[in-house]
Amino acid sequence: MPQDVRNLTGLPAYPNLSSAVMDGVFRTDTLGHWCMRFWASASDSLPAVEAWYRKNLIGASEIDLTHDATYKNYVGLAGIKLVMGIDYVVVYKANSQAPTSIDLYRCSAT
């Protein structure tokens, strides 16, 4: 991970990140939860990053982004959303040439 960025979400950050940003403010998600977001990119393949998160988030429910209400309308987007309670991780590629993107969301009910 880039040395000057700290992941404050408590969710696992992929170990081979090319870049990363920790949002400085909480934002509301589509369900009205207040969430902090850590977003990053990696040059590793989408299947490799997905496999790493599946291994490190045992018990998470998995949704293909083509079936997720928030992401299904993005043409060319491929990836998964792993959900643990109200927290979630999204691993995706915007197109075949893009780096693999990783969004970590730590949320609170209020």
DSSP states of 9-55 as a string?
A: S-SPPPSS-SEEEE-SS-EE-TTS-EEEEEEEEESS-HHHHHHHHHH
Full-model pTM: 0.89
Domain regions of the chain by residue span: 33-108
Amino acid at 85: G
Amino acid at 72: K
pLDDT digits (tens, 9 = 90+) for 65-82: 999 988 888 888 999 999
Place 31 in a pLDDT band, splitting at 50, 70 and 90: confident
